[in-house]
Chains A and B, each alone.
Chain A
Amino acid sequence: MVELDEVYLRRASHTVGACAVLYYALPESIYGVPRWTVPMIAVMLSTAGESFRLRRGALVPGLRDHERGRVASYYQFGLSMVLLVLLFPQAIAVPCLLVAALVDPLLGEMRGRRGSCSAAMLLCVAIFIAAGYRAEHWALIAAGSVAAVALEMTSRPPLDDDVTVPIGTGLLLWAMSLMVDLPSGVIEPVKGALL
């Protein structure tokens, strides 16, 4: 018997979204097909699946009650991930992906405890540093971290935080990148595979 805690099933499904950074490890061209077709195909498949779920009333394990009759959060989250990788440079998309995937479960886990906001901010800063941001990018790190945590804590339906956090933070970083240089991306396509 498979036995899972539904709350943690949702949170674990949220954190696994961080694996979307694998996109940047894909070769630019896969058997002659550009790599951006991979997320596009994923969007088409998930749109078909979500419309099937809504039409047939199929239930997905871990689905919240209020999501049964509307587009579910996981679909919005996936769509935001795809928009991020297709519209923004890697230096913006990677930290936004990770912040959206990891900060939400962290705040959920620490709900009601003191220091949850500080822990989320620290995680954001660590993510920016891991994504190649350095001391000279302090303004981007500070603004991105504050925006992500603020959007996470203030987003209310119908605009899900799974959309507002990655896209809002991405737009802010993009606007700031017009004035401040972005770091270069830390993930290079893996050589010698699927070329």
Chain B
Amino acid sequence: MRAEYSGRHRALLLLWTTGLVAFPLATAVIIGPQAPLLAGIVLFGNLWMDVLALRPGRASRETPSQKVEGADQDDGYDEKEEGDVQSGEEGARRDVEP
């Protein structure tokens, strides 16, 4: 299940996602004429990860807020709830991710 956010996190994520796409494009446009290979590596690497992050239907881990309160609550993030429901296996998996 994919992570779902609500409330103020939506705006933050939307802004962040826009930056994830806009910054590499701007970098490619600005440094492309001087260093095309460099610009290509930056653009390809970024767009690859953006596509993976935004690809619909990709299996992923569920957020603790979904497990406890349901995904449709307004303020999905609460530190105490998240800490309480985080399983050891899930935490260990998250710890080793880069």
Contacts and interface: CB of A to CB of B under 8 A. Distances in A.
Interface residues on B, range: 35 or more
Contact of B38 (A9, A105, A161, A187): A187
B42 A18 contact: yes
Interface in A1-32: 1-16, 18-19, 21-22, 24-25
Interface string B53-67: 111101011010000
A59 interface: yes
A108 interface: yes
16 contacts: A1-B4, A2-B13, A12-B49, A15-B24, A15-B46, A15-B48, A18-B46, A22-B31, A25-B31, A66-B91, A108-B97, A126-B37, A130-B40, A132-B35, A187-B35, A187-B38
Contacts, number: 154
A188 interface: yes
Contact of B60 (A5, A14, A187): A5
Nearest to A106: B45
Interface of A: 1-16, 18-19, 21-22, 24-25, 57, 59, 61, 64-66, 68, 94, 98, 101-102, 104-109, 126-127, 129-132, 161, 186-188, 190
Contacts of A22: 26-27, 30-31
Contact of B34 (A19, A107, A186): A186
A9 B40 CA distance: 21
